[in-house]
Structure 1
């Protein structure tokens, strides 16, 4: 092999070596850059996770404190409500140490729903007491009084009619008075129950009031509706 061939082979080998070194250096630098980027991303993710953990721990402590405050406040509200309308209607679990008072309450959903209805009644100014036994007779009496007044008013309208046109208007007015009189006692009954007993009228009270008014108007008809 000639000297020129040896030199050419050596030159080519040097070029390949140089290229290999450059390529290896570039690969190493790229790997180092990739490692630094990934390390920075991991560090940032770890810092975010630590910050979120710290925030969650602070929120958990604040939530626990808030729950305790709410429980204490609700317990005080329930005790006040129970002292006003009686634990029989609140069915709220009392403070620890007196759990035997509600040992028969097993359905929590029913208890919560009943409590919501009780609070709704109290917010409307009512209390869930049982109505007094005299409420039905009083409702009937109110209906009778309103019915008598309605019958008298209708009779006065009919007695004032002169000609045909006035008579038609009087009959229409008397019909309206009679119709209103059958139900006009309900607001009076509601006001009496709300003022005296802080309860709303039950269906039986409304029925007694309407029946009393209708019976009274029917009884007064021969005396007031006949000209």
Structure 2
């Protein structure tokens, strides 16, 4: 076992699990750094192999394409976020407290998790915010979906949707509300960094978290009584 802390990944996101070898971990580590530096469009597996100092063929033993590698990063991030959220909200007393804490964790800037020295979660979060949607918005999304590539994301959405149902059983759109908050927050972070006139910027992006927490509570209150 190469790493003690390991996120279960759908087999369709890799050819060989990179979490199980030293080279595989290096591939993941350097891919995050390189994508964050030059963007996914300019990123290639050849450039990745050059940054690692290995052959391109070695990288292709783990991933058949850069899109599969992005799917791996996408799935890993949501698996890690799911673990983190459930671990941190479990001690809280009410479903509303747990949901609000979960939304804050989803939106706020994260820091590097020392249990995973091969992954910089702060940089990976930036990639998911700016590039993650490219995992979904492809012509092949239906066939990719059938392989289970998006299961970690779906499980997190369903878990938070269940909390909404506990808080307000009459609310009709729990999954839509959660995905709207997640994807909308990603856009607002991007706007705050690059197109500030499209958002209401604050120095620490706290306004983004405040806005979506307000949206959450307002939405649940309009459809009946909130159970705490």
Question: Under TM normalisation by the shorter chain, which class is it?
Answer: under 0.3
Length-normalised TM-score, structure 1: 0.26
Q: Which structure carries more helix by proportion? A: 1
Length-normalised TM-score, structure 2: 0.26
Larger radius of gyration: 1
Q: Which has the higher contact order (CA 8 A, sep 6+)?
A: 2
